[in-house]
Structure formats: C-alpha cells, structure tokens
Amino acid sequence: MDLSTLNEVQREAVEAIDGPILVVAGAGSGKTRVLTHRIANLIENYDIFPSGIMAITFTNKAANEMKTRIESLIGPVTSQMWVGTFHSICVRILRRDSDRIGYTSDFVIYDTQDQKALLKMCYKELNIDDKRTPLKTSQFKISAAKNDMLTPDLYEGRYGSDFREKGFIELYHLYQSKLKQNQAMDFDDLMLKTIELFKQNREVLTYYQNRFKYIHVDEYQDTNRAQYTLVQYLAAKSRNLFVVGDADQSIYKWRGADIRNIREFEDDFPGARIIKLEQNYRSKKNILDLANSVIANNPNRRDKNLWTDKEPGEKIGYYMAYDEKDEAKFVVEKIRTFTREREYKASDCAILYRTNAQSRSFEDNLMLNGMPYKVIGGLKFYERKEIKDILAYMKLVVNPSDDVSFQRVVNEPKRNIGAKTIEKLQAYQLERDCSLLECLPFVSEIEGIGAKASKGLTEFYGIIDRLKSKIETDFVTQIFDELLQSIGFIELYEAEKSVEADARIDNIYEFRTVIEEFEKRNEEPNLRDFLAETSLRSDQDNIEDQEDGVLLMTLHASKGLEFPVVFLVGLEDTLFPSFRATDDPEELEEERRLCYVGITRAEERLFVTHARNRNQYGRFEARHASVFLSEMDKALLENFSESRDSMNFETEKPEKKHNYFAQNALKSKQSFFGKPSASNAVTATDVSDEAERRYGAGTKINHKVFGPGLVITVDSDGETLTVAFDSCGIKKIHSGMAPIKRID
DNA sequence: GGCACCAATTCCTTT
DNA sequence: AATTGGTGCC
C-alpha cells in the first residue's frame, strides 16, 4: 500500500487506527482519498477482515465510488465490507431481524407520496380537515418528531399536556399503527426501527458490535439525531469510529441534521483525535478565495483556513441579467464558446441553482441551441405516474398488506371500482381484520358490491395472485413483462394517441431497462430488493459518467461533487438566500454554507449570475441582488454585464418604475444576438419568410440530438419552431442554431 | 362511477 | 404558468 501519494496530514489520518477519530475535512481536501486509503490500509497492513468494516456514505453513488477506489488500491476483497447509505444499511439490518419488532422481512418502503396517501386515510378516519391542517404540515411534523427520535408514545409523554398537540398526537399514533398494518416503513422509520431492534434485542446489537470493528461515517455534519444514535450504538463496543465532515458544509438542518454532532464529537468521545485537512486540491486560488470571503461572514463558525498552492486562475465571471431568459442565454453562450473552442466538454459544465423550478429557462435555452444536457432531480423518474403505478403493483405482489398501493391501482386501469366500493371493502376489512387485497377472495360475500365492481375486483386479484406465485421462480423482468401484459398499460396509452401518453410508454420501456440493469448487477436479484433499491435511490445516483451533457442540479444535489466549470445562478434576494431566511439568522447561515458548497464545487472556472427581473407565479417581478454577492471580494470578479455600475450591490435598490426605454433597447439587442449570423441585412419579416420557406408548418426535420420530428408552428419571430419529436415530444427549437436538417 | 371544466395553489432544499 | 383537486353534470 502506497501512502506516499498523500500529504502529511492525510497520512496522519490514514495511520490513526484505533479509537474515535474526527477528520475535519475542508472542501476539496481529499477526504475520499483519506477514507479509501485508511480502509485499504486496515485490510492490508493491519489484517482487519473486510467483513469487519462498515462505511456509511451520503449517497449510493459515493458508496460505489468508494468500493471501486478501494478495489483499485488493494484488489477485489471489498464485497464483504458494508458500504452504503444510512438508509440502505438499515434496510439490510432490518431484513434479517424485522420479525422481532413485528414486521415481516418483506416490508415495503413508503416514499413521500405514499406517506401522503396514508396520511389522507388517517385524516378521513379522524375527521381532520386538510384545509385547516395541510397534509404537508403533518408530514413535516411527523418527520421532525422521528428525526428527534420521538415515537408517538414519547411525543405524547413530552407534549401530551399541551391541548394544542392533542390532535396531532392522535394522528401520529394512527399513522404509525397504519404503517405497521400495511407492513410499511417511511424513510425515517428505517433508522428508528433499527434502533428499536437494537434496544429490544441486545443479542442482535451485540452481533453487529462484534462484527463491525471499524466504522466510518462520511458527511458527519449532516447526520440527524437518529443517525447519530445509531452510530453510537454500533461503535459503543469497539470505539473505533472514524468520522469525516466539515461544519461549513452542513446544509440539511431542515431535514433534522444537527451540526452539534460534529462540533461536540470531542465531548461525546473523550480523548478523540482530531485531524484537520486544510489544503484544498480542487480549486484554483481565486475560487477558493471567493469561497472564503463569503463563508467568513458566518458569525457562529470556528475559524478554519482552507488554502491552496494552486495558481490564481481566471477571475470569477459575474453577470447581471435582465431576466431569467437573459441569464440562461449568457450561461449557454459561455458553454457554447467553451465547447466550440474545445476548452471544455459540455459535461465539464454544471449549472447550480437554489430551486428546481429554476432549471426551466436553462433547459429551454440549451434545447434551442441543440446542446445536450441532463437535469438531476426535480420530478424524478420514479415519481412519474406510470412508474409509480407499476411500482404499486409490484409492491402489492411482494406485500399483500399494502393498502396504500392497493388503493392506488385497484382502479388503474379503470375497472369500475369507485369510492363506494372501497368503502364497502373497508367495512368488510374491519370485520375480517385483514388487508384490502386479502378481502378480495370473499367479494361475493360482501353486501352492496355490484356485479360490475365485483368482476373488476376479481380480475384485479387474479393479476396479483398469478404474479405472486412466480415471485420465487421468475426473473424480475419476467414478472414485469407479465404484469405489463395483464394491466395493458401500453395499449391503453397507445390508444390515447397523445404526446404525453407516448412519453409514458417510453418511460415504461426505460423502466424495463432499469430492471435489466438491476438483474445484471446482482447475483440473486429479487423483486423485494429491487423495490427497496428503487425507493432509496438518490438524485446523484442517476448521474452517468460516460454521457456528455451539461449538468443541471440544485446546490443540495451538488454536494460532494466537483466540476471544471460551475455556473452559480439566481443569486437574488429571497431566492438565494431563500425568503424564509430573511428574518432567521440561523437559516441565513445555512444558506451561506450552501453558497460556500456551490462555490467550492468549481475546479477551474466559476461564474456567478443574477437577474434583475424574474417570472414567478406567472408574474414578472423586479428583484435585487443577493447579500452573498455583496459579500464576495470584488477584486476577484470580472464583470460581463452590459451595465457598468452593476457591481454596486450595496447601493442597489429595487426599481419603483420600469424603464420601458431601457427594456426595449435591451430586448432588441437580445434578439439581434439571437439571429443567425449569416443574414446581416435582413429584416424580421425576411427572416420569418426565410424560416417559413425552409421550415414551415408540416416540414419534416431531423435533429442531431432528438432525431426526427414534425414542425407544428413557426413563431412570429420567425426563428423559433415548435416541433413534435418522435423521441421526446413537443419542444421549441431555434431554426438558426439548432442542429436540424430538412427531410424531404 | 366517469368525465369535463373551473378554481386554487404552488416555488426551498431530499433519503 | 402549470398542475392539482373539487364540483357538478351525464
């Protein structure tokens, strides 16, 4: 094992073997190197069995990367090691022993949507009005309670005397008992139930304590109370706990992360060693200096000095846009220049924003220019209706107790089963004390269910029952194919003959590919594990390395990643920092850390942008610059804006009146830039005629990225075409810029 | 029970 | 702007 590639401090961390160790790892300081080398070192030089090592990461992607990198150091001995996220490791533990806490090993995992559906049922039963108490509020409150490790009983013990909490306590109790009835756990339960298992079964805990002699936790600053406790349990015996984190990168307080976990590590583990990695290997000096100038404004921060011996590099590009369209135009223009000059590939560039909704303007502009891109997060693949429906069927096949999935798909496709029929079923269910699905063999006994509904229910039961018998013998893809056949989704969507329905069909086939890949990856693939893996996939897990395309994602999703070129966009007050942070100093500090995370993702080039106006809720509103811009060291910025005084953030005030002359001047300038370069003397009408002639409505075209399509309309500007593509539906593209050709 | 149309609401971040 | 849920009619 070669440790000579590490710097002195890194080597010190790698060679600290026993006892509690905290590595304070600044952004880009090589913490993954340290983690992988330490584990490789344990195995190779200290004869620790791989089976005695656990490493907890933040995403599955990080886990896989870690495994690969350890293997490249010492060869393939890592399969015995447990490397995964908190959630996936908990599932692994629970699958073995969940029967001890009243769950079968086939329990399913409820995502946010399922959780909502279950809460809705609870509301109905308790007569709670979702206008007065929005589902989201209860959902959030339950999650907060669980992050704080308060079970319904504990919560009642603490807040029971408060009459205002009475309703919530009742709801929480019911929600939790319904989860169990459905043999389901929500995300937070995975941790809580594991802790419960350990608490009630000391021999189970002892087994894991004896087995895992060396425990590692990455991104320790973002652990919540429950995760913290779990780690305490696991490491209590060996005390060989190695955690890595950076308080400046703590960005998940709203999800229960407690920054104190890292700040008070020394108090929790007296005699702990603390090692600080302060040399940054990722970013050029200007970028690092900019990051430091921003984070220095956080008052409650332990001073830390992240440094680099790299050259300053280019200055940080700054652009004040007219609106979000102009902002996107600037960013895409820069990326096009980079790719044209072969300075960077599209996939070297990342656009980072505060909220998912911001991706829109960038997608539009990238599309217009025929530039490949990939949006991470947002409406996730697995949250699309058609996929969720198929997943619900699958969940039901594995776990007949799942009433939430039952209600989701019993009438999907239409089987003449409505609210009335469900009510009848539920009444019968109470009598029999079983799940909804389990009532179905006795449909004929239930009064009030008509012939039509009865037929539908029997049909539905047949589908699930038939698949259930194949679960042990057939491949997941075979089960999928048969399921698809029996529910006839493809034919159903085909009959709709709409672009949306066609997209759904594509998604369904895409989903089949996902299953195929799952089967290739696993030695003993089964439906149960596939469902768990699907539920626990993170956004980052969807980033594929080989694809070329600009990456678009939220700042949160960018955590732990790095890119040669970063565009940090939408630096506007009430957007970033969020409007919720305006009068909460703690929130503002977290937003600032988020800004710090964003800046430090960049290796070579960084651009920061904001818009003076923005469309929100369909309204066009004036905005002003983010406080973070005013905190940035001006000497590091290079102004790309048209207005020269745009960098006086402190003096900038929102405009009272729109300056129409200025706006019009800017607008005409924009469309000037947008025109195809060849025609320097043509008027707008000429261009329109030109495009009309070349790509009039009804023209068949071929697009380099999206393939064949049909032009539906030509916009009044004469340049923007609305095209229906076979591959991806309706898109707007730019006739002068997009890589398209007529097909005659 | 299904479908069409209208109104309200949403945009903070996620395993 | 766009999606989602509710209401009322067939």
Q: A8 an active-site residue?
A: no
State which residue has its Cα closest to the C1' atom of C1: A618
Interatomic CA–C1' length for residue A493 and nucleotide B10, angstroms = 28
Q: A601 an active-site residue?
A: yes
d(CA A634, CA A503): 47
pLDDT recorded at residue A478: 95
d(CA A125, CA A429): 14
State which residue has its Cα closest to the C1' atom of B10: A617
d(CA A297, CA A632): 10
Q: Quick: pLDDT tens for A98-121.
A: 999 999 999 999 988 899 889 988
Beginning with the edge strand found earlier in the chain, give each strand of the sheet holding A53-57 in spatial order: A82-85, A53-57, A214-217, A241-245, A21-25, A273-277
d(CA A591, CA A582): 10
pLDDT recorded at residue A675: 25
Q: How far does Cα A165 stand from its chain's mean position?
A: 32
Which residues, 6 or more positions from A223, have their beta carbon under 8 angstroms from its beta carbon?
Answer: A86, A217, A231, A257, A258, A261
SS3 category, A400: coil
pLDDT recorded at residue A253: 92
Q: How far does Cα A226 stand from its chain's mean position?
A: 21
Cα three-residue angle A649-A652-A656, rounded to 5 degrees: 160
Which residue, among A374, A348, A240, A357, has the nearest Cα to A705 in the 3D structure? A374
Footprint of strand B on the protein (CB under 7 A): A 59, 85, 87, 111-112, 131, 134, 187-188, 254-255, 354-357, 377, 411, 414-421, 453, 536, 538-540, 554, 556-557, 578-580, 587, 616-618
SS3 category, A348: helix
d(CA A247, CA A258): 10
pLDDT recorded at residue A328: 95
Interatomic CA–C1' length for residue A183 and nucleotide C1, angstroms = 40
Please name the nucleotide lying closest to A591, CA to C1': B13
State which residue has its Cα closest to the C1' atom of B13: A556
d(CA A428, CA A430): 5
Interatomic CA–C1' length for residue A715 and nucleotide B4, angstroms = 30
pLDDT recorded at residue A689: 39
Interatomic CA–C1' length for residue A452 and nucleotide B3, angstroms = 19
Q: A32 an active-site residue?
A: yes
Please name the nucleotide lying closest to A424, CA to C1': B1
SS3 category, A428: helix
User: How does DSSP classify residue A19?
Assistant: S
Please name the nucleotide lying closest to A615, CA to C1': C1
Please name the nucleotide lying closest to A620, CA to C1': C1
Beginning with the edge strand found earlier in the chain, give each strand of the sheet holding A316-321 in spatial order: A373-375, A550-554, A349-353, A563-568, A602-611, A316-321, A637-639
d(CA A408, CA A412): 7
State which residue has its Cα closest to the C1' atom of B11: A357
Interatomic CA–C1' length for residue A732 and nucleotide B2, angstroms = 35
Q: Quick: pLDDT tens for A655-680.
A: 333 333 333 333 322 222 222 222 22
Nucleotides of B under 7 A from a protein CB: 1-3, 9-15
In this prediction, the residues of chain A whose per-residue pLDDT falls under 70 are 644-646, 650-694, 704-707, 712-713, 715-720, 725-739, 741, 744
Neighbours of A661 (CB within 10 A): 8
Residue A377 region by backbone torsions, left for phi larger than 0, else alpha for psi between -120 and 50, else beta: left
Which residue, among A710, A353, A322, has the nearest Cα to A550 in the 3D structure? A353
Residue in A183, A221, A249, A308 annotated catalytic: A249
Q: Quick: pLDDT tens for A625-636.
A: 999 999 999 999
Burial of A512 (0-12, 13-18, 19+ CB in 10 A): middle
d(CA A119, CA A117): 5
Type and span of the H or E element at A365: helix A359-368
Residue in A156, A189, A219, A326 annotated catalytic: A219
Residue in A61, A601, A612, A675 annotated catalytic: A601
Question: Facing residues of A703 across strands?
Answer: A707, A740
Type and span of the H or E element at A521: helix A499-521
Footprint of strand C on the protein (CB under 7 A): A 130, 615, 617-619
Interatomic CA–C1' length for residue A129 and nucleotide C6, angstroms = 14
Whose tokens are 């300053």? That residue is: A312
Whose tokens are 């044209």? That residue is: A340
pLDDT recorded at residue A680: 27
Q: Write down the H helix ranges in A575-701.
A: 585-599, 627-631, 660-674, 684-695
Q: Which amino acid would we find at residue A630?
A: S
What's the length of chain A? 744
Which residues, 6 or more positions from A477, have their beta carbon under 8 angstroms from its beta carbon?
Answer: A512, A515, A516, A519
Nucleotides of C under 7 A from a protein CB: 1-2, 6
d(CA A403, CA A416): 18
Kindly state the tokens that stand for A216. 């590692």
Residue in A106, A218, A326, A690 annotated catalytic: A218
Kindly state the tokens that stand for A341. 């000059």
Please name the nucleotide lying closest to A360, CA to C1': C1
pLDDT recorded at residue A736: 61
Q: A125 an active-site residue?
A: no
A245 with A253: CB under 8 angstroms? no
Q: A31 an active-site residue?
A: yes
d(CA A419, CA A684): 57
d(CA A488, CA A118): 27
d(CA A405, CA A195): 27
d(CA A504, CA A496): 11
Interatomic CA–C1' length for residue A618 and nucleotide B9, angstroms = 13
Q: A645 an active-site residue?
A: no
Which residues, 6 or more positions from A668, have their beta carbon under 8 angstroms from its beta carbon?
Answer: none
Please name the nucleotide lying closest to A120, CA to C1': C5
Interatomic CA–C1' length for residue A249 and nucleotide C5, angstroms = 39
A577 prior amide bond cis, ω within 30: yes
Kindly state the tokens that stand for A321. 């846009």
Type and span of the H or E element at A732: strand A729-734
d(CA A422, CA A626): 52
Give backbone dihedrals phi and psi of A178, rounded to 5 degrees, phi first: -70, -35
SS3 category, A224: strand
Burial of A732 (0-12, 13-18, 19+ CB in 10 A): middle
